[in-house]
Amino acid sequence: MNRDQERQQRQATGEPERHSGQDRPVSARKTLMAIVVLGIIAALVAIAGIVPRVRARSRLQQQTNALAPPDVLALAPQMGEPAAELALPGNIQAYTDSPIYARTDGYLKKWYFDIGARVHKGQLLAVISSPEVDQQLLQAQADLATAQASAGLASANAKRYESLLSQNAVSRQDTDTFVSQQASTSSAVKSAQANVQRLKELQSFENIYAPFSGVITARNVDIGQLINAGTAQQMFRLADVHVLRVYVNIPQSYSADAQTGLHATITLPQFPGQTFAGKLVRTANAIDPSSRTLLAEFDIDNRKGKLTPGGYAEVHMSVHRGAATLVIPVSALIFRAQGLQVGTLIRGSRGDVAKLVGVTLGQDDGKTVQVLTGLNADSLVIQNPPDALIDGERVHVIQQQKLPQSQSAGGPAA
């Protein structure tokens, strides 16, 4: 029987067809080759996608590391001349400045001086009408007269009974009673006199007098206005301006130069080109811990009345420092909770590193500032430091500058 007949017989009986041993290896070999080819193609595709990503990530990391240190300008501080003059802001006040209040209730009957008027001590400023106080005084005077009459009768009876007692005409008990009445009525007279005096003093407050010579700087009442005693309602304000006080806060670093008798030159914006002589008369003798300054008072002779209190003045005083100072721009200062700091550079083989140091300032002219402590002449200062600059951070110096010579002089502070 040939192969065709056997195949037909198997198909008729449903028996599966049998392959020869030579067909099986050929089919398995083709399948394996297909799998290998697909694996190679997948590997090539994966390599083609991963390699560019790895290269891009490496380049990004290099760029990030290169751009991470902030770019800064390095500035070499300049040597400034020892400070010879210190200019500080001051507040002008009157030598004596007093608000005037009423001591009695009533209605304002009349006022005599308005703002700007110059008055002398004891001069009448205003009159208050207080009929209640006047009537109380009349009543108190009548009570005093009654008490004096009662005291006079008690004194006469006491003397009479003491005379009769010596003659044994009256009893000791009656005599003691009248003597006691004399003492009590005498005390009542003193009480009534004190009440009368109190009301007289209160009535005298109906007239408002100037407590010292000066200028009326405020008038807050008018005729017919109800006046209440106390500090709730200010009637006038009087200032003595023959001498003006100028109060100045001197920095702690210059407080040793603030000695009594120190002369200063004072300028005011309303008098450009003019100067006024001032003299240091007293200091607080204590440094204010909140501002680290010494409160000082300079007096100005103002008998001509040219100057007015309440204004702003600039006080130029001479100071002496034994050594020159370092000058840096104001933009290099860092204001943080740790105090006033300056960013400096530490040069190294691995790069430049920022170092934050605390400083003590001297004069400040708005553009440059003197540094008294914290920096050396060979320090490199970071100009316009970033807000996020921290101590020990790596930085990239893009330029090294020098302070212009026009800004390095140690002139007076603004």
- Do 327 and 393 sit in the same domain of this protein? yes
Pair (52, 76) in one structural domain: no
The pLDDT of residue 305 is: 87
Q: Which of 7-11, 28-32, 286-290 has the lowest mean pLDDT?
A: 7-11
| Residues 391 and 329 grouped into a single domain | yes
CB-CB contact of 264 with 316 (8 Å): yes
Q: Which domain holds residue 346?
A: 71-81+323-407
Mean pLDDT of 111-127: 95
pLDDT of residue 402: 55
Q: How far apart are CA 333 and CA 336, in angstroms?
A: 10
Q: Are residues 75 and 137 in the same domain?
A: no
Q: Are 76 and 139 in a shared domain?
A: no
Confidence of residue 246 (pLDDT cuts 50, 70, 90): very high
pLDDT the model gives residue 414: 37
pLDDT averaged over every residue in the chain: 82
For residue 265, being part of any structural domain is answered with no
Tell which residue, 157, 159, 156, 154, has the closest CA to residue 181: 154
Interval 174-189: pLDDT, tens: 777 777 877 888 888 8
| Residues above pLDDT 90, as percent of the chain | 35
pLDDT computed for residue 67 by the predictor = 53
| pLDDT confidence bin for 410, thresholds 50/70/90 | very low
**How much is the average pLDDT of 52-57?**
69
Q: Looking at the 3D structure of the chain, how many domains does it have?
A: 3
- Look at 13-22, 225-234, 322-331, 338-347 and tell me which has the smallest mean pLDDT: 13-22
Structural domain includes residue 34: yes
CA distance linking residue 219 with residue 208, whole number of Å: 13
User: What is the structure's pLDDT at 209?
Assistant: 95
In a domain, 99, yes or no: no
Of the pLDDT bands very low, low, confident and very high (cuts 50, 70, 90), residue 407 is very low
- CB hemisphere CA count around 271 (13 angstroms): 13
Considering the domain architecture, whether residues 344 and 368 belong to the same structural domain is answered as yes
- pLDDT for residue 143 is more than 80: yes
Boundary (domain end) residue, out of 186, 205, 224: 205
Give the type of residue at 250.
I
Residue 307: pLDDT band with limits 50, 70, 90: very high
| pTM assigned to the model | 0.58
The larger pLDDT score, comparing residue 173 to residue 259, is at 259
b/e map 39-55, b = 16+ CB within 10 Å: eeeeeeeeeeeeeeeee
The alpha-helical segments, DSSP class H, found in 117-171 are: 131-165
Determine, yes or no, domain membership for 91.
no
More confident residue, 69 or 125: 125
Whether residues 51 and 77 fall in one domain: no
Instruction: Identify whether 110 is part of a domain.
Output: no
Is the pLDDT reported for residue 20 higher than 60? no
Q: Calculate the alpha carbon distances from 166 to 68, 172, 177, 180 in Å.
A: 120, 10, 16, 18
Higher pLDDT, residue 188 or 80? 188
Average pLDDT over residues 129-151: 89
Determine which of 7-11, 86-90, 316-320 has the lowest per-residue pLDDT on average.
7-11
- Does the residue 94 lie in any domain? no
Which CATH number fits the domain that encloses residue 139?
1.10.287.470
142 within some domain:
yes
* The pLDDT of residue 162: 74
Q: Which is more confidently placed, 152 or 107? A: 107
Placement of tokens 């001498």 in the chain: 243
pLDDT exceeds cutoff 90 at 35: no
- Token pair belonging to 320: 């002496």
Q: Which of 190, 205, 220 is the last residue in one of the domains?
A: 205
Helix/strand/coil for 313: strand
Q: Are residues 357 and 394 in the same domain?
A: yes
Residue 212 confidence (pLDDT) above 90: yes
CATH code for the domain in which residue 396 is found? 2.40.420.20
Res. 211: pLDDT tops 50: yes
With respect to residue 53, please indicate whether it lies within any of the assigned structural domains.
yes
Question: Do 332 and 393 have their domain in common?
Answer: yes
204 HSE (CA, 13 A, CB side): 8
Last residue of a domain, one of 205, 230, 245: 205
Model confidence at 10, in pLDDT bands (50, 70, 90)?
low
Are 327 and 403 in a shared domain?
yes
Report residue 397's pLDDT band, with 50, 70 and 90 as the boundaries.
confident
pLDDT by residue (tens digit) across 313-325? Answer: 999 988 766 556 7
Mark whether 329 and 391 lie in a shared domain. yes
Same-domain pairing of 331 and 403: yes
pLDDT (mean) for 395-405: 63
Q: What is the phi-psi region of residue 276: left when phi exceeds 0, alpha when psi lies from -120 to 50, beta otherwise?
A: beta
Cβ atoms of residues 355 and 344 within 8 Å: yes
